[in-house]
Amino acid sequence: MQRRTFLTGTLLGAAFAAAPVAALTTTAASAATVTVGSLADLQREIDRAAPGDRIVLADGTYTVPAGGSLRISGRHGTGAAHITISSQSRGGAVLQGERSFVLSNSSNITLSGFAFRQRETLLIPADCSGIRLTRNDFGLADITGVHWVVVEGNGVKVDRNYFHDRATQGVFLVADGPGREDMAQDLHIFRNHFARHTYTGDNGGESIRLGVAERALTAAGARVEYNLFERCDGDAEAISVKSSKNVIRYNTLRDSAGGIVLRHGNGSVVEGNHLIGGTEGIRVYGNDHVVVNNHLAGLSGRALVIGSGTARDHVPGEPLPQRRGNDACDRALITHNTLVGNARTLVGEDRAHEPRDVVVSNNLLVADAGSLVALGRNTGFTWQGNLLWGRAADGTIPAGGFVRADPRLQQGADGVFRLSSGSPAIGVAVPTSHPVNDDVDGHPRGSRRDIGADQYATAAPVRAPLTGADVGPNAA
């Protein structure tokens, strides 16, 4: 039977008076594990927690009363000894009500294994650092405009969580920062499962949003890797990047309307991702990005967009309406990608500012309808070493930038199109300015690289498209 614990009034009351000084000065050497069975006891243990302590909430459904919260204030673990607050079993402690944990002025805290069912955002504020959210189940109340998790603090890890089932406008996971232009630094998002976002509006239903227009020129250093997105249909941008110098790699987007979009910002890397059987692929705006080793197959929309802009470049101090417009794609490197069987393969747009000085090299483009390249206006592009095949027309790619030959692809049980022995793509890739040491499968490229995302090999993939067993609360 589930335990139900209700509190009256606020958790700031006398029942949660300060713990003795001796308890507050506990060191990691005397770290303890304590199990509690009520929100009152949980709050008391949080208030006196020290580095290395582990506080376990017994399985059950707990309702935080209106106006109340579970305060984590002035609590500091260390990098080697977090203060850990966890559910007795994964998903066993269910937290409902207006809000659950409210953090302030705290660091090196881990929240693990909870089922969050609250009505308001779980916020990691800017005065908190080193916070980790791991192995939780996020299924908050489906309220329009409420983002489920917002990260403003530095050094946060969000891993092995399950974000699922919402039908309203709002984002599963947002990275922001203090003020109007700063970004949370060094956010690491990995091994999470995002599923079934069914909002049908035009905008505002992303799974992950890294920043916003005002923060576009700020380097964030976020890493989004090894996450699985399934039926993420709430927005055309499942992963929306609106800040600079981020890495989006080794993710799988399957049967999702949303794609990976470098919407604002500069200098990000999109590497080794699988986009299979959905709608949108990868769109690129801004400057100096690298798009490498991605595998896009069976998409019903645009597989790869080299974007044009309402502005040439975004610059500090520009008016906000201008910042919210598109920044033309300049100086990107788009290399070693495989695009097979998509409705539209490599396309452009028709805004005032055309993309410039982009290198498009070593890509494998295969389709049976339409044009393989439909770029439109561009300036200073370099086309090298691309291989085209299928009944689709070549399109606007210049004659010297490709060869047409059957790449002898074989589709594996995992949906990935790989080279077979004797493929004309083997060993003929041209050099690139960006190091490409392995392929989408994690196999080494060696000194003679192949065209496309796959380097021919007979060994099993080191990295393959992710499944539900690879991500979420029960992942390794």
**E strand map for 130-267:** 132-134, 137-138, 149-151, 157-159, 162-166, 173-175, 188-190, 193-197, 208-211, 223-225, 228-232, 237-242, 247-249, 252-254, 259-264
pLDDT of residue 11: 32
- For 327, which DSSP code? B
Average pLDDT for 402-410? 98
Average pLDDT for 401-407? 98
Q: Report the largest interatomic distance among the alpha carbons of the chain, rounded to a whole angstrom.
A: 78
Give the pLDDT confidence of 202-251 residue by residue, as tens digits.
899 999 999 999 999 999 999 999 999 999 999 999 999 999 999 999 99
pLDDT of residue 16: 26
- Express as a percent the part of the chain with pLDDT over 90: 92
Average pLDDT for 258-265? 98
Distance CA 83, CA 80 (A): 10
Residue 1, pLDDT above cutoff 70: no
Give the pLDDT confidence of 135-190 residue by residue, as tens digits.
999 999 999 999 999 999 999 999 999 999 999 999 999 999 999 999 999 999 99
**Mean of all residue pLDDT scores within the chain:** 93
Give the pLDDT confidence of 10-44 residue by residue, as tens digits.
332 323 233 332 233 334 456 899 999 999 999 99
pLDDT of residue 236: 97
N-term to C-term CA, the chain:
29
Q: What angle do CA 210, 215, 221 make, to 5 degrees?
A: 50
Structure tokens at 14: 């006398």
Domains in the chain: ranges and CATH:
121-470 (2.160.20.10)
79, amino acid identity: G
Average pLDDT for 446-466? 97
34 neighbors 55 (Cβ within 8 angstroms): yes
Give the pLDDT confidence of 201-215 residue by residue, as tens digits.
989 999 999 999 999
Q: What is the pTM (predicted TM-score) of this model?
A: 0.93
Average pLDDT for 396-405? 97
pLDDT of residue 199: 97
Q: What residues have CB less than 8 Å from 243, skipping those under 6 apart?
A: 175, 183, 210, 211, 215, 216, 218, 219, 220, 222, 264, 265
Residue 103, classified by CB atoms within 10 Å of its CB into exposed (0-12), middle (13-18) or buried (19+), is: buried
pLDDT of residue 202: 86
The model's confidence at residue 388, banded by pLDDT at 50, 70 and 90, is: very high
- Please name the residue ranges forming H helices in 275-340: 320-323
Distance CA 417, CA 369 (A): 18
As beta bridge partners, residue 45 has none
Please name the residue that has the structure tokens 């659950």: 100
Q: What angle do CA 141, 142, 143 make, to 5 degrees?
A: 100
Give the pLDDT confidence of 341-376 residue by residue, as tens digits.
999 999 999 999 999 999 999 999 999 999 999 999
Phi, psi (degrees; rounded to nearest 5) at 47: -65, -20
